[in-house]
Amino acid sequence: MNTKKLIAGIAAAAMLAGCSSSSSSSSTAAATSSAAAETTAAAAATGALKVGVGSYTTISTSDASADGDGKITINTTFVGLALDDSNTVQYIWIDVAQNSGTFDTTGVITSDTEAATPTKKEKGDDYGMKDSSSIGKEWYEQAEGFEQWALGKTVDEIVNSGTETNDTGHVVSTDEDLLTTTTISVDAFQAAVQAAADNAVAVDGDIAQLGTGSNTVMSFTDASADGDGEIQASVTYGIWALDADGTVLYAQTDCAQNSGTFTTEGVANEATVLDTKEDLGDEYGMKSISPIGLEWYEQNEGFDAWCVGKTMDEIINSETTTGSEGSPVSADEDLLTTTTIAVNGFLGAADAANTNMEDVAA
């Protein structure tokens, strides 16, 4: 189930009417979905941009041995996208939250559990690819090359662009123009572009700026007699659309939470990539324990709707407090009517998106 397809115009109308944007009943959700579909059609007819964000995750593992620690690496590629009414890309932002952890042959975590978690783009030149690149370009430069190549193309042209597996096992482009700037793997880019396009919603209003960003929270557990060890990455990401006054017209966020486990012998178990929390829908299983009776995706969409009409500074600097489970939760009374889950990931992603804001051509 994915009811992310909410329209900024609906959220703005609710805000102007003084509504709380709460949708705790299935009948309300159905009515909202129907209204959203009508607003999407109307917005598309006026040439409104469709805005969406999506991701694609892979997990790699290795066992610990006498020669070295075992390792679990989680790569979440996320894409922010704006499309015109012909599905042509007008804005695209690509990044990868690549996070990992290590463990020894007794299943004890050996990595720095307090280490920062910058994305590949945020690492910039420190990522260290330029010297080994066949075209002498760093990772962020090659990602930007893909973005420039994608502008003006349709989603189908991007997703179905030719690829081949090279001698190192990477899926690279066969497009001669793209290869002048981008020789890194592009299959995850293509998958995340499709996911973002699938989530794209027509936004009612004149978009002046778009920003995409993420925030990663890592957790680490040693293996013991009580159970396997675990390395988990929770990557919250989102896209925010602003008008010329810097007010949010639309926001869309999600969280890719994935992990890898290992035994007390340092053997990594087979890892399975999960759907994002939004895509899991009711299967996430939060509703029965939620103090407001709402599933994760409903609370997530409550946060997105709350963003509309605010500035990015108002969102980023929104007051938080420590919840009953020790997580940072909102102290905003309006937001708490729809969203009692931890908001630090959302606020961190908003902060990153604000840093990454780009003007949108009129």
Q: What is the pLDDT of residues 174-196, one digit of tens each?
A: 999 999 999 999 999 999 999 99
230 in any annotated domain: yes
pTM above threshold 0.85? yes
| Domain, as residue range, for 87 | 8-359
248 and 307 Cβ atoms separated by less than 8 Å: yes
Q: Is residue 1 part of a domain?
A: no
Q: What is the pLDDT of residue 362?
A: 61
How far apart CA 179 and CA 149 sit, in angstroms, is 10
Greater model confidence, 159 or 7: 159
Q: Is residue 70 part of a domain?
A: yes
149 within domain boundaries: yes
Query: Does the residue 184 lie in any domain?
Result: yes
Tell me if 150 is assigned to some domain: yes
- State how many domains the chain has: 1
Is 217 a member of any domain? yes
What integer is the mean pLDDT of 71-77? 98
Name the burial class of residue 297, with classes exposed (0-12), middle (13-18) and buried (19+) by CB atoms within 10 angstroms of its CB.
buried
> Is a pLDDT exceeding 80 seen at residue 361?
no
The Cα 48–Cα 41 span in angstroms is 10
> Following CA atoms 41, 44, 46, 51 in sequence, which dihedral angle do they give, to the nearest 10 degrees?
130
DSSP 270-314: PP-PPPPHHHHGGGG--GGG-TT---HHHHHHHHHHHHTTSBHHH
- Which residues on neighbouring strands pair with residue 250, listed in sequence order? 241
The verdict on residue 3 lying in a domain is no
